[in-house]
């Protein structure tokens, strides 16, 4: 009579693999959002255990507004890049950023703040044409009209928000609380407040939460504080999901992602185009 000796460690790993596959399988929307290649591998049980864990973890970031908080050098951009990269890898979400990504990153849309402001200048024509009508609208209606017009301009440039992962590395400048009535802040706040209309993830980074206009903060679904360990080259982002109250701990190893983005890229905002001539909205 032969005795079969089973490796307990291997059995435990198989059980964990089946557990995570079941967890993902219970989330039908998660599977449908995977790239076709990932769906095929999932069905054929060809994903690794590490990949299953990552998919289950990243699923909560596929929709909503994610806020990354931390002082300079805390790893906010590193964490953001990791999220953008893996949301594209597993869920096929195209990347849109306001900071430069290197060629090694792959396909993405880069739109600097200055370039976005240049696009917004075209909205002056819209305001002038509809000047009489605009004065009859409420501030909320004006914001919506401007947001829709800005969205049209971006679409002309090939930038759409459906199934996108959007990274604003200096969100405090786009959503600055002290400039809540400026055109730039109004347009960006419109996108934050209407993210539910899209299958998208909007990732915001800021040194201080108080720098962001409160109306944008009400839309945040996940809030994480970042800290970077230089010795280990590891960024730890800790926080919670505001809807489920589930704690979140996320590690990002710098050497895995630093080759994908430019660090310390300056982002400028020109005050001269912050408000409409003749009327500050």
pLDDT tens column, 201-251? 999 999 999 999 998 999 999 999 999 999 999 999 999 999 888 899 999
Under a CB-based contact definition with an 8 Å cutoff, are residues 259 and 104 in contact?
Answer: yes
Under a CB-based contact definition with an 8 Å cutoff, are residues 243 and 219 in contact?
Answer: no
* Per-residue confidence band for 267, with pLDDT thresholds at 50, 70 and 90: very low
Average pLDDT of span 3-26: 85
Which pLDDT score, from 0 to 100, does residue 136 have? 59
Task: Decide which of 42 and 273 is more confident.
Answer: 42
Neighbours of 219 (CB within 10 A): 19
Relative orientation angle of helices 49-58 and 8-25, to the nearest 10 degrees: 30
Enumerate residues 6+ apart whose C-beta is below 8 A from 90: 34, 35, 38, 51, 54, 55, 58
Which pLDDT score, from 0 to 100, does residue 181 have? 74
Which pLDDT score, from 0 to 100, does residue 158 have? 73
Task: Decide which of 87 and 176 is more confident.
Answer: 87
Task: Decide which of 256 and 146 is more confident.
Answer: 256
Please give the backbone phi and psi of residue 29, each rounded to the nearest 5 degrees, phi first.
-65, -30
In 3D, which of 84, 23, 32 has the Cα closest to residue 57? 23
Q: Which domains does the chain have, with CATH numbers?
A: 1-61 (no CATH), 63-273 (3.40.50.300)
Residue 182 has pLDDT above 80, yes or no: no
């Amino acid at each position: 009579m032969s005795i079969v000796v089973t490796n307990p460690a291997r059995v435990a790993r198989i059980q964990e693999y089946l557990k995570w596959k079941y967890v993902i399988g219970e989330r039908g929307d998660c599977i449908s959002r995977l790239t076709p290649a990932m769906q095929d591998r999932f069905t054929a049980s060809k994903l690794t255990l590490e990949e299953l864990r990552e998919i289950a973890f990243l699923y909560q970031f596929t929709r909503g507004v994610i806020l990354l908080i931390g002082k300079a050098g805390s790893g906010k951009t590193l964490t953001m890049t990791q999220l953008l990269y893996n949301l594209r890898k597993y869920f096929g979400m195209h990347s849109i950023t306001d900071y430069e990504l290197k060629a090694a990153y792959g396909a993405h849309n880069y739109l600097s703040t200055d370039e976005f402001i240049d696009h917004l200048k075209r909205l002056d024509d819209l305001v002038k044409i509809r000047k009489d009508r605009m004065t009859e609208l409420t501030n909320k209606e004006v914001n919506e009209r401007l947001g829709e017009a800005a969205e049209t301009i971006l679409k002309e440039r090939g930038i759409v928000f459906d199934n996108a992962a959007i990274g604003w590395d200096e969100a405090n400048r786009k959503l600055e609380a002290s400039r809540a009535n400026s055109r730039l802040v109004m347009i960006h706040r419109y996108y934050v407040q209407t993210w539910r209309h899209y299958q998208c993830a909007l990732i915001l980074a800021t040194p201080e939460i108080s720098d962001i206009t409160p109306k944008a903060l009400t839309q945040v679904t996940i809030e994480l504080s970042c800290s970077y360990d230089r010795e280990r080259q590891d960024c730890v982002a800790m926080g919670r999901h505001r809807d489920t109250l589930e704690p979140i701990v996320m590690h990002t190893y710098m050497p895995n992602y630093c080759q994908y983005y430019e660090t310390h890229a300056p982002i400028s905002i020109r005050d001269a185009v912050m408000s409409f001539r003749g009327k500050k909205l």
